[in-house]
Structure 1
Amino acid sequence: MTNDPIYLDNQATTPLAPEVFDVMVPWLRDNFGNPHSAHLPGRKAAAAVEVARDQVAGLLPKGGEVLFTGSATEAINLGFGVVHALKAAGRDKIIVLDSEHAAVRDTALSYEAYGFMVERHPIGPDGIVSLEHLSEAIDDRTALVAAMLVNNEIGVIQPVEAIAELAHQYDALMLCDVVQGYGRVAIPDNVDMAAISAHKIYGPKAIGALWVREGIGLPPLIHGGGQEQGIRSGTLSPALCAGFGKAAALCADRHNSDAAHIQALADKARSCFADWTINGSMDHRYPGNLNIRRDGVDVGRLMSDVRGVAFSAGSACASGSGRPSHVLAALGLETGQIKSSIRLGFGRYNSLEDVEMASQYINEAAEAQGI
């Protein structure tokens, strides 16, 4: 028996896959060599890192390279560094969608201190950007366009391939946060950079990666020993790399079964929450993310009352800020609607019974509020 709550917050993080744990253990317990050392233990560790790099790359477009980082946030910061060289050529404009994760929004805004003009481009009430309006915003001053593949709060899928095409018409680069889509949703071949994270695909925390298209030069983000081609210095963890690689390989092997399972969970949840309204597009979304609202519900009280379910009122990365969701605000929702919204995230290890029981707890608590 366990008293742990039903876990429905898989956008925040996912459980470590047992197969991933098993792959990591030898590198934590027995094989302690530094992968940047020339001796046998070091070469053995380096080989494990490169195997993992290939596994991670297997779910990404061809014609690029994977640089390991400490997180997707670090990867995004690394990717933004490309704009420094472009500014010298008169490109001083950065465009990000207004619904981007804080890792993208805040990084972009930090470049205002370097003389860049940063535009937070609006999205529609369905959470999807208007390509027509975006095409009017991109011009020959644009250095970088950033758009998330699958939104972390509402699960909406952006037309990233078309966005990249618009950016390339003006020789601007396209950076894509694919954290929530990696291993689940096809990543367009024409993006220039893609940031990913292991702990969103049943891998370990504290490791991410940036995929960079061949020919794109990045300035170093971390100086030191020259690891990761001199762009991101620091000793890599073979355990974390191996875990990331195994998690990616599992996503590839289980893609069809995982997708069918998640869809079944999503269908069950929609029927169980028929009295709630879905935030964002009904059609262009990843089914494992269900962001819903029930007008009048006090979500703060709801989360306090429903101790048997782990769910979210928004992004875990901003949960302590006290600020209302900027993503839901970008949809045009009023403050009261934002405060009556919750996010449920379904994963590989959830069951239909989990969804049924969680919906019962949440609906009963909402009804107890007289809603």
Structure 2
Amino acid sequence: MRNWILGASLVLMVACSGAENTAGLPKDTVRIGNPSLGTAIVGENYSASLGVLGGVSPYIFTVVDGKLPAGLNLSTGDRGTISGTPTEKGAFTFTVQVTDANLSTKIQKYTLSVTDKPPPEMSFELPGTPVKSSTRIPVVIKNAEKVAGGRFTMSVPEGLVVKNVLPVTGKPLVIWNVKNNILTVDFAFTQKFFRDNKALFLEVESSKEAGVFVPALTSSNYDLRDGASKKLAGTDLLTPAPKPKPADPPASPKTEQPKQEPAKPANTPPAEPTDPEQTPPSGTEAPTGNPTTPETTENPTENPEGTDQTAPGEGETPENPDGSVQETPSPEPGTENPDPSDTEIPENPENPQNPENPEPSDGSQGQP
């Protein structure tokens, strides 16, 4: 009887404890069940339970070292749940302690990483078999909170026929075409048109009896944009390709220009001295009119008498027979200048001319 009472008491204690008794551990030993935590996303709800093994309920969880990321809190209840919405990214290290009803304690060190939201991702939910009859393939966009539109392309395999591309719900903008076996789809709508991350349906069928496999959609085949047309994920498929620049004309061969030497000054002969007798004195007025003095040439034959054969008016002023200077009358104002051919040449008193041998018209002296 006594043994029966003792056994019933033991069963009652285990049932009241509410804790699992692990083999090899005393029933009063407590420990935290979850040794690690997942990754939290900035701006998204996060929740993780630490759990407890052994010990005696109730349990109390506390942070004894370090701190939780901003926006997260630790509940002190039996499960020790960390929850909330983190507001900063980084790696946060802290230590949690659990205490049971018997004041048994256990600590566990954690590192919780908080990162930015991953970029959106686009894919097809493909069937595991070839497409034969008309089939709708869902186009899925994950993490699409900021997606407002974009474009995707697909190389259409031989035998596959694209019948339509349509939204899952609503009437967003969807434009598509197939050219040179390339399917191009442009769309513009927000996540309110999604259903379970499904944005579009690709309706296809096969012209081959054996069917055709639909190729997968990769990041090189889509371009997802936000409301300001900023690229969020994928490859740039919307920016127009730059126009090629015209080719530069071939460079002409350079020809060396001959070096030009500085011009040397010309050898100018020195000016001949001026005969003072031939220079008219300063202050003498030039005769008016344009009288022309007949030219005289020297007699090529030497004068036997050695007399001067210079014609009057050439370097000398003619004289009268009595030795006085013969003045040439100036023309009256308003009269014409006399013709030099009408002017009589006075006789040379020192060498009177023979009236029978008049002086030649060219001014040369006749032979005696």
Q: Same fold (TM over 0.5)?
A: no
**Larger-gyration structure (1/2):** 2
Per the normalisation by structure 2, the TM-score is 0.18
TM-score between both structures, scaled by the size of structure 1:
0.17
Higher RCO, Cα 8 Å, sep 6+: 1
